[in-house]
Amino acid sequence: DIVMTQSPLSLPVTPGEPASISCRSSQSLLHSNGYNYLTWYLQKPGQPPQLLIYLGSNRASGVPDRFSGSGSGTDFTLKVSGVEAEDVGVYYCMQDLQTPRTFGPGTKVDIK
């Protein structure tokens, strides 16, 4: 199984300031088709996971452009250019290159 790790696990942020979350996989997520099969989800309190970024760097429909994903192979980053109060919750990375799909442990983002 591909093991996903994230850092930090907790991230207090100041509104308007940037934030960055790292995700690493135990195997490369780069497919021969050129895509990195890495997805980012945000789970707000009491809600299901909502899709933010797919294939490593593609923003999902309706996701504000302050969210961006980057990286390739085994190292990926989610950046928020200026955190807003509505961005609090737990951020998960997930690999969907192969089964079993696996999630990172999650990064809890809250407001300082």
Partner 1 sequence: QVQLQESGPGLVKPSGTLSLTCDVSGVSISYNNWWSWVRQPPGKGLEWIGEIFHSGTTNYSPSLQGRVTMSVDKSKNQFSLKLSSVTAADTAVYYCGRTGYDNDDKSVARWGQGTLVTVSS
Give the three-class secondary structure for 85: helix
Q: In the set 16, 45, 48, 62, which binds partner 1 (CB under 8 A)?
A: 48
Least distance from partner 1 to the Cβ atom of residue 15, Å? 26
| C-beta of 54 vs 83, nearer to partner 1 | 54
Q: Residue 88, interface with partner 1 (CB under 8 A)?
A: no
Amino acid at 61: S
**Residue 30 binds partner 1, judged by CB under 8 A:** no
For tokens 């997930």, what's the residue?
Answer: 94
Distances (CA, A) of 103 to 8, 40, 64, 78: 15, 9, 23, 15
Q: How many CA atoms lie within 13 A of 87 on its CB side?
A: 27
7, 11, 30, 35: which one binds partner 1 (CB under 8 A): 35
Distance CA 95, CA 64 (A): 22
Q: How many residues lie near partner 1 (CB under 8 A)?
A: 27
Q: Which residues bind partner 1 (CB under 8 A)?
A: 1, 35, 39, 41, 43, 47-51, 54-55, 58, 60-61, 90, 92, 94, 96, 99-106
